[in-house]
Chains A and B, each alone.
Chain A
């Protein structure tokens, strides 16, 4: 009995009756705060590779040079829309939802230090990683064609059949080397810190 009264009360509410007769599905709109795939703003990318460093999905973002300017490109099938690249980019090149706005307002940054580990028992000295590394190629253009380099300034180079790390501090943690190694011998540990405020 109580149940029937409850149902009658439920269906006699003015709100219920009005919505019953004027039922209409609201149009499907993407709310402005939705965290979608990152999009480019008109700011200039400086090729610092912070976005590639933070990205958790393999090969979701790559920074490429098109028509003489660097630009990050997102592979939509790989990107998981986490929005970390937007927070990490120091130049505000990327945007999505309200991430860019709150990042600026609250001065949020993600910063990391990196450590390269090469498993010498797996490394066969092919030099794939040294060629692929975008920092290496900036420093020594000769590396665009071969894995050996005469420059002492590069991050790593193949020397007497072994890959040697020379300047770990120059690494930006972009993981390109990991992805290009066919043996999984090189691993870059990215120790990232989530910070707020202008310090550091």
Chain B
């Protein structure tokens, strides 16, 4: 990119606030940010190449390993896209179980994102509270699937295992606990004057810039864009889903959208538990040849799988577009511009919930 000034302030590749390595190069005048670039390439996995020529039972695990934080949704979208190719419909109970596990995963991801934001603006108490609350969600995931991350829960035609009424009861009480705790934490977050100082009106993303860069997920929804793939997913529409949208487009709005989505997930899980009836959890079915472009809503936004399979159900071609790609790009090229202080660079960057692992799949 063309340089306007010759002072460039590097942030990263290793930075205490970043969970993963990436380098932001900011051109600054004083502390005022004129332009920013993000350079990657520290953790490239080449996972799309490894997936080629493999059957679903191997690609499913590779897909989960694209992103360690939101692993369930990769499994979810990959399996649903091969199901769409082959005309397999999951059984009703399995469809609800998928939603439950996916929403638990979304809750833990959002709590982790808000944890890192609070940590970045130096409110470590609230950060640790949120991280502690996330453990409750992780325990529920482990109880249902047997693993905290990379759960491998969804298979073509259904899910791996059922939940008994004991597990459902435990899940309900855990949800009540999260509901009560999080209400208090949000009260602290909303009313904190110092939090407001670091969050309100900082890192504004306008609606036009968001549309141009195809911003997705909470980052886009905080700027007033009604874009949520769950509103077209049949199971979610059956549960009465409607997206959370805010208009401000600043750091505060992005964090609040995530908090509200955690509550929404709690509601979705509760109504899924209500709506679920006894029945089979696996329907069988084999993968056939075809190609598809399939989208799903990851915690960070729209996740796109574009894949082709052959007659024996192996993946011939695959391209994954993860939500962090547009989000980090819009963050670097629209949100960071005009940041008033160097301390805001990290907080703005973290508020867009960047996940470098899935950007460099």
Contacts and interface: CB of A to CB of B under 8 A. Distances in A.
Are A and B in contact, CB atoms below 8 Å, in the complex?
yes
Contact of B191 (A6, A82, A87, A98): A6
B198 to A, nearest CB: 14
B188 A35 contact: no
Please classify the interface of chain A as helix (H, G, I), strand (E, B), loop, or mixed, using the class held by over half of its residues: mixed
A34 B139 CA distance: 10
Contact of B188 (A6, A106, A187): A6
A33 B143 CA distance: 6
B57 A193 contact: no
Interface of A: 2-3, 6-7, 10, 31, 33-35, 54, 56-57, 80-84, 87, 96-99, 102, 106, 108, 110, 115, 187, 189-197
B57 A192 contact: yes
B281 A98 contact: no
Main secondary structure, interface of B, reads loop
Contacts of A98: 146, 161
Contacts of B283: 196
Given A34-B146, A83-B160, A189-B313, 10 more contacts: A3-B188, A3-B193, A6-B187, A6-B188, A56-B60, A57-B61, A83-B152, A193-B157, A193-B285, A196-B282
Interface of B: 53, 55-58, 60-61, 142-143, 145-147, 150, 152, 155-158, 160-162, 184, 187-188, 191-193, 280-287, 312-314
A99 B146 contact: yes
B146 A189 contact: no
Contacts of B147: 34-35, 81
Which 7 A-B pairs rank lowest in CB-CB distance, beginning with the nearest?
Answer: A35-B146, A189-B312, A196-B282, A56-B58, A194-B155, A3-B191, A2-B191
B95 to A, nearest CB: 15
A4 to B, nearest CB: 9
Given A3-B188, A10-B184, A81-B147, A195 B282 contact: yes
Contact of A106 (B150, B162, B314): B162
A108 B188 CA distance: 47
B152 A82 contact: yes
A33 B282 contact: no
A34 B147 CA distance: 6
